Amino acid sequence: MVLKKYHATVKKRKEIKEDTWQVDFILDDDQKEFAYDAGQYAMIKCDKEIKDGRNNVRAFSIYSSPEEAKQDKKISIVFRLPSNSSEYKKHMVGCPIGEKITITGPMGKFVPDNKKELVMIAGGTGIVPFMSIIKDVLKKSSKRKITLIYTDKFEKRMIGLNTLKKLSKTNKNFTFVPRFKRVDRQYLEEHIENKKSQFLICGTTPMVKNVISILQEIGIKKENMLFEEFPGY
């Protein structure tokens, strides 16, 4: 896909979990559809000057599915807002509705294979690109088998929990496995049925490295893995 710039405005924002925010952007009327593959990310630039030394721009995985973006011209992002958050994030949840932003993208190769069964392993906000991927895959093929292992400290922190529970109940080929501590070898072996699946891992750098190491130990080839690290900002 060709990298393009799109003009948009802040349409809506809400705290969906404690210290976790969703911000929705709407493309300006004169802007064409923002086409992307589920799992990709975009650069979001605030038009207003923010004194954080990083040119008012950050990369965000896209939370909304491509279908949602096509229908409503809406792009959604989700992020944590801890007490030590950057000035950028603080501005994003405090700026006026209607503030102008620029979206550059799409970017990234965290896009699943079109045919293989999928095993997704998410830690914390690493769930964000998976929400887009899961909704997209299930819309295209309800017969494709997907397993999501989602880890976080507490259930109340889990992003998209109600949606994931609903999708797992209405799609027999989607298995949702919540986990409230680190995954280990035994746990992964218990929940991996097909080692020839494609494995997608997303979370903090230590989490991603740990999962990759375990998968390799149990015989998963790295060529069958896609991973993305969320450093936090």
Q: Where in the chain is the domain with CATH 2.40.30.10?
A: 4-107
Rounded-to-integer distance, Cα 212 and Cα 209, Å: 5
Q: In terms of DSSP H, where are the helices of the chain?
A: 66-72, 87-94, 128-140, 161-170, 185-191, 205-217
Looking at residue 33, the DSSP 8-state letter turns out to be P
pLDDT, tens digit, for every residue of 96-130? 999 999 999 999 999 999 889 999 999 999 999 99
What DSSP element (H or E) covers 75? strand 74-80
- Topology annotation, domain 118-229: Rossmann fold (3.40.50)
DSSP β-ladder status, 41-46 and 146-151: unpaired
Residue 113 tokens, joined: 């294979």
Instruction: For 21, list phi and psi in degrees, rounded to 5.
Output: -120, 145
119-170 per-position pLDDT tens digit = 999 999 999 999 999 999 999 977 889 999 999 999 999 999 999 999 999 9
Q: Which residues make up the CATH 3.40.50.80 domain(s) of the chain?
A: 118-229
**DSSP, res 32:** P
**What's the pLDDT tens digit per position in 33-61?**
899 999 999 999 998 888 777 889 999 99
Output the CATH code of domain 4-107.
Answer: 2.40.30.10
